[in-house]
Amino acid sequence: MKINLKINGQSRQFLIEPNEYLLDVLRRNDYLSVRRGCDNTSCGVCTVLIDNKPVPSCSVLAARCENKEITTVEGIETEVEKLAKYFGELGADQCGYCNPSMALTVYSLKLENRNANIEEVKEYLVGNLCRCTGYVAQHEAIMKYLGDES
Amino acid sequence: MEVKELIRAKDALEAYTLLNEFKGSKVMAGGAWMKLSVKSVDKLILLDDLNLDYIKEENEFLEIGAMTSLRTIEMHPAIKSMNSGILAKAIKSIMGVQVRNIATIGGSVMGRFAFSDLLGALLVLDCRLYFHDLQEITVFDFLQMPKVPSDILLNIKIKKTAGKGYFHKVSKTHLDFSLLNIAITKNELFRIAIGSRPQTATLAINTANFLNSQSEINEETIKKAVEIACDEIKVSTNLRASKEYREVLLKTYLTRGLEEVIK
């Protein structure tokens, strides 16, 4: 079957199987910043935005995304540069595997609640696991990013 | 998950007919749990075109479409304020924002999951479920049915109330299933539900009847109510926690919850 998606502002059409998940379709078509982790919604590394809401692409059937707007980390480049600056300054980054998904979730939080406090940040990011950092520096970097009005 | 055919139902009648006419057909709500629990489906029925993604406020009720995401419900101002926001609190305790953006209230109800944090809150809020064929049924009666009906859940109605509420989930980490969860509402009457026992959530009817018969609720009556609850509510052992540990959790959090709602 065919589906039409808008990915990072570009209209794309893909041939898919009815049981294919969005993660598989995206990776098969070279959107490799969308990572595969647990494949069961626990880790959050497969996060993409559908109509600006973060979802686990490993568990969304691609067929249900007809005409939806999909955003991967490449679609929010300017925001990612800002966030990366704070991640770098605060040493919030190690292996980087979870970074694209985390950036998308943080961007979505910014759209939803720019004035989020640290507890709200922690709560919003509970579905994004990072096995390297221990989160403290990440949360600090995210608070700085949310406060950055440039 | 293997899917032979994917069908977007045009209306509830079509979904209902497909579900009942073809053995091996299944309805998909959010789909997250189905991915983990179902290996193969002949006909996978999607309800995405049924316009069941909504929250409608009426005078006395809130009506929630079955395909409304848990995240939408959690963020709704009326839900946040009703009975100390216990429904929002219960939903917030489920996985992360990403999962709650795809999981639906209909899927959570129809799954009748033993670990559910949502069912207890729905039980104490005295919700009614509206099906295509079965029509109206309370959440309590739905949970007592021996089998999940082969029907299409359309919406859930919650009576608007201004009383107090308490919800608490005990789990090893935020993302883990509950070892036990407790939901209490105090409107004109008390309602108490215990879930993840590890069996599916149920109402503590005798406990609530005892509290509702008291002219005053104090330390002594709470102590007695907790004793009744421990007799009435069966808890048992599974891989996550022992019966003995669950009994301690029940006593502790029921006491705290009752103290909270009578403040």
ipTM of this predicted structure: 0.96
- Proportion of chain B above pLDDT 70, given as a percent: 100
Backbone dihedral angles phi then psi of residue B39, each to the nearest 5 degrees: -90, -40
Quick check: A18 contacting B, CB < 8 Å? yes
Taking contacts as CB-CB distances below 8 angstroms, the residues of chain B near A124 are 97
**Residues near B261 by Cβ (< 8 Å), separated by ≥ 6?**
B84, B163, B164, B165, B166, B184, B185, B186, B190
Closest-approach residue (CA) in chain A for B37: A40
Mean pLDDT estimate for chain B? 96
Distances (CA, A) of B90 to B85, B181, B251: 9, 9, 20
Q: What is the predicted pLDDT for the residue at B147?
A: 95
Question: B71: burial class by Cβ within 10 Å (0-12, 13-18, 19+)?
Answer: buried
Taking contacts as CB-CB distances below 8 angstroms, the residues of chain A near B6 are 1, 18-19, 61, 63
Interface contact flag, A127 B98, Cβ < 8 Å: yes
Distances (CA, A) of A42 to A17, B38, B127, B131, B259: 24, 18, 30, 31, 35
Chain segment B136-158, per-residue pLDDT in tens: 999 999 999 999 999 999 999 99
What is d(CA B244, CA B241) in angstroms, rounded to the nearest whole number? Answer: 8
- pLDDT category of residue B22 using cuts at 50, 70 and 90: very high
What integer is the mean pLDDT of B50-64? Answer: 96
**What residue has token string 């795809």?**
B102
Q: What is the predicted pLDDT for the residue at B202?
A: 97
- Min Cα–Cα distance to chain A from B154, Å: 19
Q: Which H or E run contains B137?
A: strand B136-138
Quick check: A102 contacting B, CB < 8 Å? no
Q: Is the pLDDT of residue B235 over 90?
A: yes
Chain segment B66-125, per-residue pLDDT in tens: 999 999 999 999 999 999 999 999 999 999 999 999 999 999 999 999 999 999 999 999
Q: What is the predicted pLDDT for the residue at B126?
A: 84
Q: Looking at this protein, which amino acid is placed at residue A50? A: I
Count CA within 13 A, CB hemisphere, residue B162. 1
Q: Is the pLDDT of residue B162 over 90?
A: no
Interface contact flag, B98 A41, Cβ < 8 Å: yes
Closest-approach residue (CA) in chain B for A59: B32
Quick check: A127 contacting B, CB < 8 Å? yes
Mean pLDDT estimate for chain A? 95
What the block records as the tokens of B144 is 């007592």
- pLDDT category of residue B175 using cuts at 50, 70 and 90: confident
Interface contact flag, B28 A61, Cβ < 8 Å: yes
Q: What is the predicted pLDDT for the residue at A133?
A: 87
DSSP B250: H
- Proportion of chain A above pLDDT 70, given as a percent: 100
Q: Is the pLDDT of residue B174 over 90?
A: no
What integer is the mean pLDDT of B128-139? Answer: 96
What integer is the mean pLDDT of A32-41? Answer: 95
Closest-approach residue (CA) in chain B for A124: B97
Chain segment A90-141, per-residue pLDDT in tens: 999 899 999 999 999 999 999 999 999 999 999 999 999 999 988 999 999 9
What is d(CA B34, CA B45) in angstroms, rounded to the nearest whole number? Answer: 12
Closest Cβ opposite residue A59 in set B96, B102, B174? B102
